[in-house]
Amino acid sequence: MPTKIVVDCSTGITQEVELTAEEVAAQEAMEARSAERAAAEEAAAAQHAADKASGEAKLADLGLSADEIAALVG
């Protein structure tokens, strides 16, 4: 079972306490949200890279040179 550290600041006593079922559920929910957020950010970055490559390919199809495309897109 997962644990947490509890420190009593008035006495300086440190205890290792098992998490309650509610705390475990909250931690698991937070980890799931974090994983979803990371997956969404990764998907957005991949989509951005694909859109950039597609746009550069379309500019090349219009006859622009690699230097001209670099000047346009930065």
The tens-digit pLDDT sequence of the chain (74 residues) is: 899 999 999 999 999 999 999 999 999 999 999 999 999 999 999 999 999 999 999 999 999 999 999 999 88
Contact predicate 43/24, CB 8 Å:
no
Q: What single-letter amino acid sits at 46?
A: A
Q: What's this model's pTM, rounded to 2 decimal places?
A: 0.66
Contact predicate 24/16, CB 8 Å:
no
Instruction: Give domain limits for the chain.
Output: 3-73
